[in-house]
């Protein structure tokens, strides 16, 4: 089954404790992206990757890191989480190009206290 998986689905953590949210896709997509969703703001892009070892900042990259060592995986790293990073996070993947839909993972609900 074609899918994007994310783990964990739910996470409650404390300020400053490093965490990683994993994302994996099995569709051989070149393009992967992370979004955060906050009430009233829609989805905003954090980072994206056009291919292996090619990553770039989106609209709200502060406080986040990513890596793309393999085509299928695109982890999101929060080195020192803060309460303002409490949000719903989505990973997405697609082929490169404006005509391709992005496939979304199920989301990770993160709470930072």
Site for another protein in 1-30 (CB under 8 A): none
**Binding of another protein by 52 (CB under 8 A):** no
Stretch of 21-29, 63-71, 75-83, 85-93 contacting another protein, by CB under 8 A: 85-93
CA pair distance 19, 26, nearest whole angstrom: 23
Tokens at 68, concatenated: 């793309």
104 Cα distance to chain centroid:
10
Nearer to another protein, 47 or 85 (CB): 47
Q: For tokens 């989106």, what's the residue?
A: 58
**Binding of another protein by 99 (CB under 8 A):** yes
Report the half-sphere exposure of 55 (CA within 13 A, side-chain side): 21
- Site residues for another protein per CB under 8 A: 31, 33, 35, 40-45, 48, 50, 56, 58, 88, 90, 92, 94, 96-104, 106-107, 109
């Amino acid at each position: 089954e074609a899918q994007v998986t994310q783990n964990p689905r739910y996470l409650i953590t404390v300020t400053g404790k490093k965490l990683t949210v994993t994302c994996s896709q099995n569709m051989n997509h070149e393009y992967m992206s992370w979004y955060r969703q906050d009430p009233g703001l829609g989805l905003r892009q954090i980072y994206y990757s056009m291919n292996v070892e090619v990553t770039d900042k989106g609209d709200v990259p502060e406080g986040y890191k990513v890596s793309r060592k393999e085509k299928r995986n695109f982890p999101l790293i929060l080195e020192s989480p803060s309460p303002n990073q409490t949000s719903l996070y989505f990973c997405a993947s697609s082929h490169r190009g404006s005509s391709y839909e992005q496939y979304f993972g199920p989301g990770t609900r993160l709470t930072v206290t």
